[in-house]
Amino acid sequence: MAKSRPKHLNLFQIKLPVPGVVSILHRISGIGLFLMLPFLLFLLQASLQSPDSYIHFRAWMSFVLVKLVLLGLLWAFLHHFCAGIRYLFLDVHVGTELATARASSFAVLGVSLVLTVVFGVWLW
């Protein structure tokens, strides 16, 4: 007997496996990095243009909201980087078994969060 399929999908009740969560976060982090690229380029320009613009850059960096945005971008970059390495291994058929895929997903989440904390302390 076939299972009855749901008539509607409630995305808040669906429990995704960890590789699915990593995949969605990889996409979200890539979109976030792309959308925040003008802000990052503005900060880069402000830090390199002249000594006066560097002082202006330091003033921008003293705001807590800017630091929080940069912390979020730091996590997005590190997660996107770690998940990208995981997907490169999956593309060459390394770690495609279920247990290994789950373990590498947990590793991506853990490593990206630990590196975010380490670099975030240095940033703050």
| 30: in domain | yes
> What's the CA angle centered on 75, arms 14 and 44, to 5 degrees?
140
**Residue 108 to residue 89: CA distance in whole angstroms:** 13
| 39: in domain | yes
Q: Domain holding 71: CATH number?
A: 1.20.1300.10
Does the pLDDT at position 51 exceed 80? yes
| 4: in domain | no
Mean pLDDT of 113-121: 96
Mean pLDDT of 29-39: 97
pLDDT-derived band at 6, boundaries 50, 70, 90: low
| 84: in domain | yes
Residue 66 CB burial class (10 angstroms; 0-12, 13-18, ≥19): middle
Which has more confidence, 5 or 60?
60
Mean pLDDT of all residues in the chain? 92
**Residue 56 to residue 68: CA distance in whole angstroms:** 18
Which has more confidence, 3 or 43?
43
Range of the domain at 119: 18-123
Q: How many domains does one find in the chain?
A: 1
